[in-house]
Structure 1
Amino acid sequence: MSMTELVASIAILLVSIFIFVTKSSKSRASSIPNPKAPKSYPLIGSSVAIFANRNRRIQWISDLIQSSPSATVVIHRFFLDDSHVLTGNPANVQHMLKTQFQNYEKGSKSRRALFDFLGNGIFNINGDSWKFQRQLSSHEFSTKSLRKFVETVVDTELSQRLIPTLSAAAASNAVLDLQDILQRFAFDNICQISFGYDPAYLLPGLPEAEFAKTFDEATEISSGRFNSVFPYLWKIKKFLNIGSEKRLKEASSRLRQFAKNIIKEKKQELSKNSSLESVDLLSRFLSSGHSDEDFVTDIVISFILAGRDTTSAALTWYFWLLSQNQEVEKEVLREIKEQSESPVYEEVKDMVYTHASLCESMRLYPPVPDRQQGCKTRRCFA
């Protein structure tokens, strides 16, 4: 038997075993209400269980954590890939994200997986670079002029797009996908706040927006790199420039070219008018002396990522919960009516009940339950 035939025979055998064990694992997983930590095999780790539960990943992870006495589970990945620590233990979360935050940096594998999309943005860096971007962003968001700009953008999007869209649907008794509507609402807002660019994603007719579609594709493929059963597959596809990796390369290139075109236009505008009154985040960064296009692009793309799906997911769950709890809905409406005479920002600060109900909604349904790129570390939390 030649070496080629031997390798082919071994490969076929391994694939057959993998499929058999996967089917067995899947049938067992559906019959066990409180699964224990997935079994780990030599070389392939827990890839069998990961593959078997690939279409119910979040629920599977939640089940694992709930069945663990410590609310913490370790999953061993394929071959030499790092193990993943999944925890729902509040003490562990506080340890990693607060008391010992500095000890849990993003590893090189995480940075490589996200670099094509996020570059050196705040979600993909560590140490001094992370602190610098955080301080810079915190300073800009704390300014009254930016806060006023945010109020204006959100109020315009509400009054001219969201409310008319919902009112038209109510008048015609039409059915809307609320999550899609709120994603469009959030995307328009965050793009205007970050770039000063209006994608007009929530116009009547709900048009396709090329920038939004490209951003979605880059986000999905980058996230998929983490969720792949075989972690090295995306690297092979990237080397060969095929499949999803080819699409990610093209999507990231279009996003960055789009961003750089806007940056050039902003620089020209600011050279004519350097006023910081009610301007977007990009203009503020450029005006403060941060003119490197790659640096600013990375920051702004990270803000769009942070502000779009998180906002829409939180609002979607919130409205769903309100629809299921009429007493809470009545209290929220009562408070809104009482505060409606105040300026927008001031009235929001005084809405104690509404704020508490929104926080409870996010506690029950976290807006980012499984987005690994949003975590400080790949040791993410369900």
Structure 2
Amino acid sequence: MTTMAEMLKWVISGLTFWDLSIALLWVFICSCLYERLAKKGPMMWPVLGILPTIVFNMSDVHNWCTRALIKAGGTFHYRGVWMGGAYGIMTTDPSNVEYMLKTNFNNFPKGSYYKEKFRDLLGDGIFNSDDESWKQQRQLVKLDLHSSRFIQSSFRAMQDIVQKKLLVLLEKFAVSGQCFDLQEVLLRLTFDNICIAALGVDPGCLALGLPDVPFAKAFEEATEFSLLRFLMPPFVWKPFKYFGLGTERRLKEAIKVVHDFADETVRDRRNMLVKLGNLNGQSDLLSMLMESEQGHFPGNFLRDFFVSFILAGRDTTSVALAWFFWLIQRNPDVENKILAEIHEANTRAFTEEGLKDGVSASGTI
């Protein structure tokens, strides 16, 4: 009597390479059809997960993501390459966002999967920390960002950047009739502003001619290549890092430039504090933290803190401004109201109080 094991062995021995290939192809096709027809989210490929879909839409990834979220009703699950450990949920549902960031915030830490990929760049900065470390850094930011000294300094710095750099640059473009990338100009504006506010250093990104600034370029590459790690499974990017290959080699070089710049700035400011005994002439966040009662911070705390701070204020503000001008261009009636308010504001001095009045009045637009 033939046993089940013998029958299975006979079936397997009778299979050819083409039989297996056709069977696997059929499974692949069925999986693709199920993903396409039964699910509302983006295509999840067998074995490769969402990776091919992202690659196919890389040139238009933000619009694709928006369309995918709309199609899925605001929320969809995703997974990455098999055995890569990448899976999660993307959502724009306000109730989900409120639940994660407010109602049940403690239940949504970043976790080791996220922190491992950003550790080389961000270290233990606020964007890469959880629990007590996150709370400590957040408290430091809150105390100094709301101080009158920092607010007044930031206001003066933004005035100088706009009047002495941005308007001069835009006037040059207007006179020459030269086209320019508004989003790039705004990115340079916010990078200069956040570096002045955080470190008291002007990198000069918004200078005439829009020069290449090594620190700014390295910062952009470091964030880009760090994000690429989320598209590759650990068994790919970790060997690349170990042997110094491809994007991991360039990431290491970019991070060195960023960290060297931050370390040098921290070291110079500390030497100034020792020499003068105070930093009252400096109102940037770094100087205020050094003068604070917390005293000396351990290890690379200040470097990691400010790399995260620059990351927080760079892309977010520039992208928001780019969207603002795009929306203004699409809504001429709102543009006319804003222009009228600007003309009215020009009749009085541009002060902090005037800025606050403008913010209050903007509720009528």
The TM tier, using the shorter chain, reads 0.7 to 0.9
Corresponding residue number in structure 2 for 1:339 = 345
Alpha-carbon distance in 2 for matches of 1:355, 1:127 = 37
- What is residue 81 of structure 2 aligned with on the other side? 78
Q: CA deviation at 1:125?
A: 0.4
Give the superposition deviation at 1:148: 1.0
Aligned to 2:177: 173
CA separation of 1:233 and 1:247: change in aligned 2, threshold 3 A: same
Relative to structure 2, which stretch is displaced further, 246-255 or 116-125? 246-255
State the TM-score, normalizing by the size of structure 1: 0.80
Match of 1:204 among 194, 205, 208: 208
Counterpart selection for 2:267 from 264, 267, 271: 264
Segments of 5+ residues of structure 2 without an aligned counterpart are 1-16
Give runs of aligned pairs for residues 19-34 of structure 1, distance below 5 A.
none
- 2:122, 2:128 within 8 Å by CA — same for their partners in 1? yes
Matched-pair contact (CA < 8 Å) for 2:199–2:265:
yes
Q: Is the 8 A contact 1:335 1:353 kept in 2?
A: no
> In the alignment, which residue of structure 2 is the partner of 1:303?
309
Residue 341 of structure 2: SS of its match in structure 1? helix
Q: Which residue of 2 aligns with 1:121?
A: 125
* Matching of residue 164 in structure 1 with residue 168 in structure 2: yes
Whole-Å separation in 2 of the counterparts to 1:46 and 1:220: 19
Further displaced range: 162-171 or 323-332: 323-332
The one-letter code matched in structure 2 to 1:72 is T
Letter in 2 for 1:204: L
TM-score by length of structure 2 reads 0.83
Aligned to 1:185: 189
After superposition, the Cα gap between the structure-2 partners of 1:354 and 1:315, relative to the gap in structure 1 and judged at 3 Å, is: farther
Give the whole-Å Cα distance in 1 for the aligned partners of 2:222 and 2:363: 34
1:98 pairs with 2:89: no
What's the counterpart of residue 324 of structure 1? Answer: 330
Code of the aligned partner of 1:164: V
Quote how far apart the aligned CAs of 1:38 are.
4.1
**What are the superposed Cα offsets for residues 214-235 of structure 1, whole Å, 9 maximum, x if unpaired?**
111101101111234x453212
* Equivalent AA in structure 2 for residue 303 of structure 1: F
Displacement after TM superposition at 1:342 (Å): 4.9
Against the structure 1 CA distance between its residues 170 and 251, is the aligned structure 2 distance closer, same or farther, given a 3 Å change threshold? same
| Superposed CA offset, 1:82-103 (max 9, x none) | 3120112111111111111111
Q: What is residue 63 of structure 1 aligned with on the other side? A: 67
User: Partner of 2:11 in structure 1?
Assistant: none
- Paired with 1:286 and 1:189, the residues of 2 have a C-alpha distance of 20
Q: Pick from 200, 225, 236 the counterpart of residue 221 of structure 1.
A: 225
Q: How much has 1:283 moved relative to structure 2?
A: 1.0
Matched, 1:111 2:115: yes
Displacement of 1:314 in angstroms is 1.2
Whose radius of gyration is greater, 1 or 2?
2
1:27-66 matches, within 5 Å, as 36-38=40-42, 40=44, 43-66=47-70
**SS class of match (1:232):** helix
Separation (CA, whole Å) in 2 of partners of 1:204 and 1:184: 12
Identity %: 36
Question: 8 Å contact 1:157–1:185 — kept in the other structure?
Answer: yes
The answer to whether the 8 Å contact 1:35/1:67 transfers is no
Q: Indicate the structure whose relative CO is greater, using CA pairs within 8 Å and at least 6 residues apart.
A: 1
Specify whether residues 46 and 197 from structure 1 end up closer, same or farther in structure 2 by C-alpha distance, changes over 3 A only: closer
Whether the 8 Å CA contact 1:238–1:245 is kept in 2: the answer is yes
Contact in 2 for aligned 1:78/1:231 (Cα 8 Å): no
**One-letter code of the match for 2:351?**
V
How much has 1:52 moved relative to structure 2? 3.6
* 1:114–1:355 CA distance, 2 compared to 1 (3 A): farther
Q: Is the 8 A contact 2:75 2:92 kept in 1?
A: yes
1:284-310 CA distance string (max 9 Å, x none) = 111222444510001111111111111
SS in 1 for 2:300: helix
Give RMSD over aligned pairs: 3.0
Q: Does residue 280 in structure 1 map to residue 284 in structure 2? A: yes
**Contact 1:117/1:252, CA 8 A, preserved across alignment:** yes
CA distance in 2, matches of 1:319, 1:35: 36
SS at match of 1:276: coil
**1:336 aligned partner, one-letter code:** I
Structure 1: segments with no counterpart, 5+ residues: 1-8, 359-382
